[in-house]
Every structure is written in C-alpha cells, then in structure tokens.
Structure 1
Amino acid sequence: MGLQSKVAALSTRCNVELVSNQHEYVIAVVGAGPRGTSFLERLLAQVERCSPGQRRGLKVMVFDPAPHGAGRVWNPEQSSLYLMNTPAAFPTAAPSGGTRRSLPPSSCSISFLEFCAPGGFDDDAASYPTRSQYGTYLAWLNKEVSAHLRGRGVVVQHISAEVTALIPQADRYLLRTAGGEHAADAVVLALGHLETELSSGPAHLAAQADKHGLHYQGPAIPTEVDYSTFGAGQNVLVRGLGLNFFDLMIEVTAGRGGQFRLNQDPTPGRRFTYEPSGAEPRLIAGSRRGTPYRAKTLAPGFVPSGIELAHLTPRAIDELLAEHTELDFAAHLWPLIEKDIRSTCASFGGPADFDVTSCARPFQHRSWTSPQEYQHTLVKWLEDDAEASTAGADSPEKMAINALHAARLEVKKLVADRRIRMASVLRDIEGWFEPLVEGLASGPPLQRIEELAALSRAGLVEFLGPEPVYGVDSTNGAFIADSAAVQGARYHAAYMIEAMMPPNRITQAQSQLVRGMLADGLAAPAIVESGGQAHVHKGFNVTEAPHRLIHSDGTAGHIYVLGLQLSSVQWGTAIAAEAGGDIQGSARALADADAAAASVLQTLTPDAALPNLAPVLS
C-alpha cells in the first residue's frame, strides 16, 4: 500500500465514541519545532473530522526548552540578518494549495507565504525571508493550533523543559524532566538538530586548543554560537563554505556595524562595496571544493519552468524496477540524471557535453603560485556565479543545475519508497551525490554571494585553496591551515570555527534522552548491509509509515518519529515541506505527521489496535 493510501485509510478510521470511565489518553510530543508543530496541526485536522460522540479525554503535552513552534533553529528572537535559503513561496508547516487534495486542512492550515501579509511581512513569493520571520509564523501556528485543539475539548499543555529519559511502564511511558515525571500513552519524537560528540579530527583540534589556550568552535546551530569571541582584526580559520558560513560572515560584518553600499551602476557580482566598521575579524575560509555553495538562480519557481526530466521519467524508472526490483543509484539512475543535465543545458543554449562534477569542483588539478593569485581567481568565480544567477533562464549552466535539483526530488521519492537498495543509498546518495547537489543547488540567495565578493575585495575574507588541511602548530601555539594547491598559503590563527551543523547521527548524540533509549534497547540505529558488511546508519530503525521506533528486540510500540532521525528511511529530512507539494515528495513531512496523528487517534477506540503492532523485524 502506498503512503497516500495509508494516510487515507488511517484518516477514515477516526471514531472517538468511547467509554468515559477510562483515564484520559495522553500524547507526549517531544520537540516543539516545525515537525512537532506540524504534528499538532495534523492532530487538529484529525480531531476536527472526528464524530463528536462520547469522548474519552485527550491530552497533549508538548516538551521543549526552546521557543514552542519555532524551536532552536527558527527562534523569532534571532538576528534579522539571518536569511532562509528558500524563497517565501516554498516553506510550510501545514498543508496548503494542492497538498490539501491529499491532506484535508485544519481550521489553522496556512503556509508561510499566506501568513506573510497579515503577519506584516513582505509577501513577495520570490523574496528570501529572514529566519526570525519564519519562526514568527511557526510560533503563531503552534499557538493557534493549540487554542483550536482546546476549543475541541483537548487539553494542551506546553512544558518548557527538556525530556531527559523515556521509560516504558506496562502499556504507558514515563517521561522524565528536571521538573518531574509525566505519563503518556503515546510519544511523538520530533527532536530536530541534536548536539553531538566531536568526531576524531575535530576532537583532536579541540583537545589541542585546550592545551595551547586557543579558541575552537565545533559544529553548531549558528544562533547558538558566541561570535563575540572573535576580536577585531583577528584571524579566524573557518572550515566550511556552506550555509552556516554565510551566517558567520554576515554576523561579524554587517552585524558589527559594517555597511554594504549599493554601487550606482551595478553589474552582477560587483553590486556592493563594503565599508568596514573596524570591528570585523578577518575570516580565512576553506572547503574541499575550494568554493562556496553556488547562489540560487533568479529564475522563478522552486524548479524553474522549462525544466523537464526527459530521461529520469516514471516510465524509465518502472522499466528499471521491472528488471531489477531494487535499484542501484550509480548504475541505474545517475546515467539518466547526467543525460537530463546535459540535455537541459543544450536546450537552453549551452553545450551538450556539460560536466556537472567538474562544475562542482572547478579547481581540480589546478595550482596557484601565490595566495594573492588564488584570491583573484575566487573573486572572479564569485562574480561569474552572480552573473549566471542574475541571468536566470538565460544561463544554461544554472538551468542544468536546476535539472539536477529536479532529479534530486525524484530520488527523494525513490529512497522513501524503498526503491533504491540501502547499500547504494549509503555508498552513492549519502556518499557523493548529496554533497554534489548541495554545493550546486542548495546554496544561498544571490545577495549573499555578492556580499561575499564585496568582503573579499575589502580584504576581510580570504580563501584557502582546495582540499585545505587544518592543524595546530604546537611550537607557536596557533591553529594553522594551508592548501597544497596554493604556494605560500600558510595561515595562523588563535581562533577556528567549524561552519557546519552538527552531524545528524544518533550514535553521536549528546542528548540524554537518545543515549538512554539506545542503552535501554528502546531504540536502535538502522543497520545497512553493504559489501558483505553491516554498517550502522545515522538514523533510527523504524517501521514503515507511520514510522515507529523498532526496539532492539524487534518489536515496535507507540513511539513515533518525525524529521531528521528518519534518515534511515528517507533522504533530505532537514528540508521543510513545500507549500502545495506532493505528499509522496516535497510535502512528505506533512504526510508523516498526518499518518502519526491518525494512528495515535485510532488507539482512542478500545477495541481497535494500532496497525502492525505485531513484532516487526529490523
């Protein structure tokens, strides 16, 4: 049965004509960010469609020390300098547009863009809103949904605390916080980003930093980093030129009083001149590819019009499945994706032999005689990227990259539908396709690339060469970094920052809750067989949708999982749901929340059982 059929089947079973002498049914939602908020909205939609009847009491407890609705990442109080990397028309935490054909809306169901005008924000669909604005929408939605649930007789309790332990007790669960213990019949884990232990390389740098009195910042959510430790004029080594880098960049420049002045006769890539405040540090940044993530095109649409996959088609996929049952990404899908990239490039006036891997690593096999030569190369690269983004559909290269983006959406569906063998997902999709597509198609708005070019021209950002190496000079007590491709490029600094999010890997999580669940066998990581060896995956071992934790003994209870920790059965779990998107693809996060809400409510009928409650083999 497909996901849409499962959602429909669960949604039609709602019957709350129950005996009133049983204890109230309690749902605990752990995590009040976007996924937890989507669950509440889907629960409301289910409750609003239920027959009134004689109800057993229903209570929802929502736990999160971060702001409820927004969570840690989207805190409405964060700096207005931080931008989303998707336009306003894309994100939503509730069904809107075409999605409502599959997921009937609740009385509060609107997208972010629909919220913008009444919320006092710019409602230009192509604009890039601030993260605090999206957080304001999430906080509003969470508050409205909670109020409407209460209006339907549901008790909703918001608890600003971290759940540190989850303990099964007979047919219920005990949730422990610093303030006490709470019992629940079902638990929904919407944990979001978790702090993690440092891997061996960063852990060594952190240890050396402690030994020599240096300042090291590991991977973290940008809003939780104290950038004030970087003093004016001080060198700061940066590893990573992705989205977290741009937050760091803007915080220590415009956030310290610097000004980006718009030039009178701007050309793409040279629109801004930066006027320093004098309070800025000097960022020395690098990444394996040697370049930042590429800017998004100004061509309108999440996938611009004119982009059509002629090779990675449903018919081609069906034919492959008929022959192979399970697909290998590198052998079966990547050749079709490459053909679509090249044919798209040609259809927009570019060369038919477009090489996307060279586009992702433009400086492979090159060398430079000085750091100054490399800076000149990088600034020219930034200016060219800005020009291509500004050209929109007139840039064959950017349109070819958008074909790659469109293919990614199809690959996400295939992974979630378990059409690609997990060994290939681990080896190919997570191994090399994910960083390829992120660097090319998941970049910042054009504004950020143009600002970076201005900062580089002003001498406040300098780039390391490709494949940089970071370490510690114990003799001089300083971090060091260089690139073998750039002669004379050895940099020293007392500060180093990893400009990236914590890895989404449950076995590295510092969370007491996750550690305890793993230790007690309440949860387990998924195991992937590849090359005759068993590999521990980064996500939880879960059932089919609605996704429930599979315990170490192979059984599954009433603990549902939403979001990042579903990476063992989905791919690209950090991306928000698309407004109007397909529940099999870009709006699957909403379908997951709806399936969980429907399944939880089904247990309100005493003589009905949760589907698939028999032991589930991992």
Structure 2
Amino acid sequence: MPATIPAIVFIGGGPRTAGVLERIAANRPDVFAGPLQIHVVEPHVPGSGRIWRYDQDPGLLLNSMAADITMFTDGSVDCEGPATPGPGLAEWAASVLDASIIDVPDFPQQLWDQLRSMAGTTFPTRQLQSQYLEWFFRRAARSLGRSVTVHRTTATGITALVGGGHGVELANGRTLRADIVVTALGHTDSRPDAVSASFADFAARHGGYHASPSYTTDVDYSPLAPGQDVIVSGMGLAFVDLLVLLMEGRGGRFEEVSDGGLRYLPSGREPRLWAGSRRGVPYHSKISATLQGQAPGPLQFFTAAAVESLLQQHGELDFHQHLWPLIAKEAGHYYYRELLTGSPERGAMDWEPFAARYEGLDWYSRERAELVAAAVPDPALHLNLERLDRPFDGRAFADHREVQDAIAGYIEDDLALRDSPDHPETLALFLALLHVYMEVGRVVPPERLNARSQRVVHGWWHGFFSFVDSGPPPHRLRQMLALHRAGLLQFLGPGLEVTADETTGLFVASSDQSGVAVTAKALIEARLPSTSVARSLNPVLASLHASGLGSEQQLLTADGIHSTGKLLVSHQHHLVGADGKPQPALFGIGPGTSGWGAGAFARPKTNAAPFRENDALARTILAVAGSLAADPSATISPEPAAVGKN
C-alpha cells in the first residue's frame, strides 16, 4: 500500500469535470494505478451542472445537431492516453430506446417522445442533453470504482494548509482536505461592469427595467408587461434564447404557412423587442447541406510546421499579421475545393490547376483575387471574410424602414445559403474554421504571441468563429422573421449604441448608420457576463483572487496593461498566483481560464481541443498523485514533466 492516498477535489461537476474523470480512469494503468480519493463539489446535478441542467425551459435547444455531439475521446484525438469509444448523443438515444443502455432514470414522457423522434440532424433540447451528460458522468465515476464522492453543495473558498495541501471550504460547513484541487467552474456570474451598473442604477431610479449580462434562463423577465417596448443589446445565442422565453414561453406559437415560412400567433402577453448589436445581425444559422465534392483532408496551410517557421522568423507573433492570413487561406482552400469539385458547373476552372496556383499565393495578394475571379465567374460566390464578419460595414441606411428590409433580407439570404442543399461550400467553410479553431491552441504557444494578439484570440477571433460556426438552428432564424412580420421584433441595425436620458428617464438606442433612435423604459443586455476574476460572484474565484492563490491574466501592450478577466493558468493548467508563480497543486480548466480549449463536448472525429486538454490534464494530475503517494513529504514541482500533449 502507498504511504498515503492522494485526495483530489474538483470544484464544479459539469461536463468538463466529467471529461477529465473519464481520462483519469483511462490513463491510470499507464501513469498511476494506486488508490485515489476524488471529491466533486457541485450544487446542481453532476454531469450537467448549472448550464446544462434539466430544470430549464423545455423550448431551449442546443445549437448543435445530435450527430455532432459526443463526450468520448475517440481515435482522432491526438493525445498520450488511450482512445475510449462510446456513443455520441444520437447513438446514446438510439441505445436507450432499444434498451442496450439501461442505466438511465425513468424519463418523463416528453423525453421519451424526444428520444423516439431523434435523428442525427435533430437539434436536441437542453433537457435531453442534460440526461446524456449526467449518464456520462455516472459512467466515468463508476469507472473509478469507489474513489468518487459527490458533494451537492457549493465550494466557498480555498485556503493553503499548514504542512501542505489545501482546504476546500463548503457551504454546508465542511472543509475538504485536498492534495490536488481542480477548478472547473464553467460560466460564472460577475458583478456588472461600470456601464451595466450605471444602467441598473438608472433603471432603479426611474422605475424602469434593466437585465445585466447573465445566463438568459436565470433572469427574471416577469416585470416586462405585454406590449412593452424593450431594447435588446446583442443578437447572439443569448438573444435566441430570449426570444424563446418571451414569445413561445409566454404562450405564443408558430404555425407553418403554404410558402414554407412561419406565421407567429401571439398570446397577447409578449413585449415588443427592438434588437441591435455591433454587427446588427444574428449569428449565421447552422448548415443543412452535405459536402458533394472532394472530402476535406488535413489542414494544408495553418499547420504546426507553418507556425514553427513563423516563430523562427519572427520570434514573437502577431495574430492579424502572421496567423490570420494562413487561417484565411485555409478557409479559402476548403471553400473553393468544395465549390469547384462539388459544383463544377459554377466554376470556369478545374480544381487541380486552381489548387496548384493557389498554393503559392498569399490570401491578400492581387494574384489570388485574380485567380478566384478567373475560376469562379459569379462574384457572389467569392469568399470575402471581412464582409462575412461585418456585413453592413460602411453602409448608411436612409431610414428605419430600410434597416428593417436590409436585415430581414440578410436573414433570408443566410437561410438560402445555409439551409438548403444548394450551397455545400458553406459547410466546407464551417469545417475549415472549426478545424483551425481546434488547432490554434495546440500549435500556437500563447507566450509567443504579442499581448495585443492574445487579446485578439480571446476577443475577436473567438467572436468571429462563434458568429460563423456557432449559430442557432435554421428554424430559429425563420422564427425571427415571423416575429418581425408580427411586429414583435424590430431591428435597430449595426453599430448599436445605448445611452440613458436622465431628462426623460428612458433608455435610448441608436445607430449612426441609420440615424434612427428608439426610446424605452426597459433594456436587456443579451449576452453572457464578461469573465472577470476580480468582479466574480463565484465565491471560489473571489477567494483565489483575495488570497493571491489565483490571478487575472494581465497583458502589457503599447497602450498600457489590460486584463482579459480570465483566471491565469500555465500551459499545464496550473493556477498562476499573484506572485506570478504556478501553483503546483492547483489547476484550472474551462472557459473562464486563459487556456485556449473550447467547449466541453465536441463533434466526433475532429481531434477536439477539449478532449486533448482533458487527457493531458488527467495525466498531469495522475503524475502528481503518484509522486505524493510514493513520498507524501516530497515537494511537488511547479511544472511537472510533460506527460501529455497540449
């Protein structure tokens, strides 16, 4: 028997923790097979956690199809640990139905109905996804024997203990002693920033309504009266959820009409929404087309070798100057390959001669533009990534009516491109950006990016990827158009600015591209709160910040020091303290950290970044646990020898 049994405490029991637990079980025979004590602290049901919990409006959906969701580290994942086959969501649903999977609870009837109607192209409800995630967690916990104990409470703080280790304080009054602590907190709440706080104060003083950035389903919208005008800032996924809650959630319903569109039948309880954002348009819809041309191979231009060559040339990299041209060229390669091989009638050149010339040209060169013009006669089919990112840049609208027509037309065009079988090149672009997004964190050392570029990665690049690849199901955009036609959704246009007028007591929304201003007593900021350790409402993050065991990521640029708000972690996910040193027994993972991994679940067979990170972290944890078990008095190295690939 070892001298001690290492104790590992996971703070947060959502899908990211479940993924790491599964990787710990898979890697134990290779790294450390000795006994472990594993504690998971989670106030909600473990596996789904707060964000994916069952207790949500049944109308809320995932923005991924069932065939694109798995929690299993398959053979495509580039990691040290073994692949573990297992069912994605669609296969799991089928297995539950045919009783080849029986370790599930007695589902309510509506979930059985969803299981029976499930197809790979179905956009599942979050309620159904919660059951898949909870099943996976239970499976991962069982694979660790009796090692795992779940504490259905909230962690309130972490303190260093005399003699080593840490105490994890719980809201139920207990304190867990931990040799290793892993924070996997997911999306957390923060105190409003200065602008949101001023809006909240304004609404309170003038009898108005204000909803700060938050997880949409946790906000109380009951004060909004039927027919009340409401300004909505943000048109991303939080906005889509808001429409569900305030429209169908208040008794309205959609019905199909003869032309294939939708008509909204209001209940009379809905408010009237005035929505805008920086772009002025919703996220692009998910894609229903299938590839018709040559199957995409490995990335050709944004590769580890290309990044290493740039590092040797420049030492420090700039995202827009050095990396973005490679990303854009990769996106173009995928896009035009599908266009010329899958729809050759739209081209004037075969793919092989096009690809041979394309390979040696810079994306932003005149020669590349000329090659595309010669190969693809229709300019509407040319890939313009800047126009894709900002579709109305530089356009002035004559009046409010023109704004409505332009944005409704934009949504209709987006549906024509992405929700029909006629434009599979949009799927090729989707796949290119997805593969690059997963690759950035693997091949680009964050410490070799200049500070400005690290901000770009966490800001613009993530936002652009989400805008193009992480949009809602197509029928949500059809519902937006139906709500617009019903007069319950008006568009404010791009470049939205919101101010508060003390004279009238009203919020004012305007766009300098349209010159139109709208006033209302209610304002909803439809987005998640920005990450901030310093302003966090999560007690563990507040504790880490106050004690100095954790710190915010700070970036020094030419115009000063900027904070990303994220919990700073090393490349092996050690928390970095206020003294700038990695904490050898404290780890952090997830969207609130400075690591680049995306999401908690992913598409199968995509070498997904979160699965690579889970495996590497699990092996690091096991290596630390092994050293403690062998010699409890040994000092843990701040950066253990690498035992997995990031």
Q: TM-score scaled by structure 1?
A: 0.85
Match of 2:153 among 161, 171, 177: 161
Matching of residues 75-224 of structure 1 within 5 Å? 75-99=53-77, 102-104=80-82, 110-120=87-97, 121=115, 123-149=118-144, 152-154=145-147, 156-169=148-161, 170-180=163-173, 181-224=175-218
* Residue 607 of structure 2 is aligned to residue 607 of structure 1: no
Quick one: which of 551, 554, 558 aligns to 2:577?
551
1:167·1:175 contact (CA, 8 Å) conserved in 2? Answer: yes
Question: Following the alignment from structure 1 to structure 2, what is the Cα–Cα distance between the partners of residues 304 and 160?
Answer: 50
* Aligned-pair CA distance for 1:598: 2.3
Q: What is the rounded CA distance, in whole Å, between the counterparts of 1:318 and 1:166 in structure 2?
A: 39
What are the residue-to-residue correspondences of 1:499-514 with 2, within 5 Å? 499-514=526-541
Alignment of 1:331-346 (within 5 A): 331-346=321-336
CA distance in 1, matches of 2:431, 2:86: 30
Contact 1:33–1:71 at 8 Å: present in 2 too?
yes
Q: Distance in 2 between matches of 1:281 and 1:119?
A: 40
Q: Matched residue pairs, number? A: 579
Question: 1:18: which partner in 2?
Answer: 2
Q: 1:290 touches 1:465 (CA, 8 Å); kept in 2?
A: yes
Residue type matched to 2:169 in 1?
R
Classify 1:526/1:427 alpha carbon distance in 2 versus 1 (closer, same or farther; 3 Å): closer
Instruction: Decide whether aligned partners of structure 1 residues 600 and 308 sit closer, same or farther in structure 2, where only a CA change above 3 A counts.
Output: closer
Question: Which residue in 2 is equivalent to 1:7?
Answer: none
Output one character per residue of 1:154-187: Cα deviation in whole Å (capped at 9) or x when no partner: 2x32212111111110212111122212222211
Residue 273 (structure 1) shift: 1.7
Instruction: Report the counterpart of residue 579 of structure 1 in structure 2.
Output: 604
- Over 3 Å counting, the alpha-carbon distance change for 1:342 and 1:139 in structure 2 is closer
How far apart, in 2, do the equivalents of 1:141 and 1:40 lie?
A: 10
Cα displacement string for residues 278-302 of structure 1 (whole angstroms, at most 9, x for unaligned residues): 221111111011111111221348x
Counterpart residue identity of residue 182, structure 1: L
1:275 to 2:275 alignment = no
- Bigger drift between 373-382 and 331-340 goes to 331-340
Aligned mates of 1:96, 1:610 — CA distance in 2? 35
Cα distance in structure 2, aligned partners of 1:79 and 1:499: 17
Amino acid in structure 1 at the alignment position of 2:237: L
**Aligned to 1:367, which of 381, 396, 410?**
396
Partner amino acid, structure 1, of 2:61 = L
Could you tell me whether the CA contact under 8 Å between 1:473 and 1:480 is conserved in 2? yes
Query: Match for residue 389 of structure 1?
Result: 418
- Counterpart CA distance in 1 for 2:205 and 2:303 is 56
Matched, 1:60 2:38: yes
Could you say what secondary structure the match of 2:398 adopts?
A: coil
Aligned-partner Cα distance in 2 for 1:202–1:25: 44
Query: Deviations for 1:191-222, whole angstroms, at most 9, x for unmatched residues?
Result: 11111121221111111111111111111112
* Helix, strand or coil at the partner of 1:98: coil
Amino acid at match of 1:294: H
- Mean alpha-carbon deviation: is it higher for 251-260 or for 277-286? 251-260
Give me the CA root mean square deviation.
3.0
Instruction: State the match for 1:518 in structure 2.
Output: 545
**Partner Cα distance (1:342, 1:282) in 2:** 41
> Aligned-pair distance for 1:308?
6.9
* SS of equivalent to 1:391: coil
Deviations 1:335-359 (A, max 9, x none): 2333344455544145485321122
Deviation at 1:503, TM superposition (A): 1.1
Structure 2: gaps spanning 5 or more residues: 98-114, 340-345, 347-375, 642-646
Confirm or deny: 8 A CA contact 2:435 2:606 kept in the other structure. Answer: no
- CA distance in structure 2 between the aligned counterparts of 1:67 and 1:451, rounded to whole angstroms: 32
- Rate the CA distance shift 1:486–1:130 in 2: closer, same or farther, 3 A: same
Identity %: 30
The 1:143–1:90 alpha-carbon spacing in structure 2 relative to 1, beyond 3 Å, is same
Q: Is the 8 A contact 1:38 1:593 kept in 2?
A: no
Task: State the alpha-carbon separation in 2 of the partners of residues 304 and 346 from structure 1.
Answer: 11
**2:31 touches 2:619 (CA, 8 Å); kept in 1?**
no
**Whole-Å Cα distance in 2 between the matches of residues 234 and 307 of structure 1?**
52
| Cα pair 1:112 1:134 within 8 Å, conserved | yes
User: Which one-letter code corresponds to 1:124 in the other structure?
Assistant: A
Please say which of residues 246-255 and 605-614 is displaced more in the overlay: 605-614
- Is the partner of 1:228 in helix, strand or coil? coil
Do residues 448 (structure 1) and 476 (structure 2) align? yes
> Gapped runs of 5+ residues in structure 1?
1-16
Contact 1:39 1:593 in 2 (8 A): yes
Residues 178 and 590 of structure 1, relative CA distance in 2, 3 Å threshold: closer
Instruction: Check 1:192–1:541 CA distance in 2 against 1; reply closer, same or farther (3 A cut).
Output: same
| Counterpart AA for 1:454 | A
Q: Distance in 2 between matches of 1:393 and 1:406?
A: 23
Counterpart secondary structure, 2:155 = coil
For 1:561 and 1:101, locate their aligned partners in 2 and report how far apart those are by CA, in whole Å.
19
Partners of 2:87 and 2:136 in 1: how far apart?
Answer: 8
The answer for the alignment partner of 1:238 in structure 2 is 232
Match in the other structure for 2:24: 43
Alpha-carbon distance in structure 1 between the residues aligned to 2:450 and 2:493: 34
Q: Distance in 2 between matches of 1:304 and 1:298?
A: 18
- 3-state DSSP class of the match of 1:576? coil
Letter in 2 for 1:174: G
Q: TM-score under structure 2 normalisation?
A: 0.82
1:328 aligns with 2:318: yes
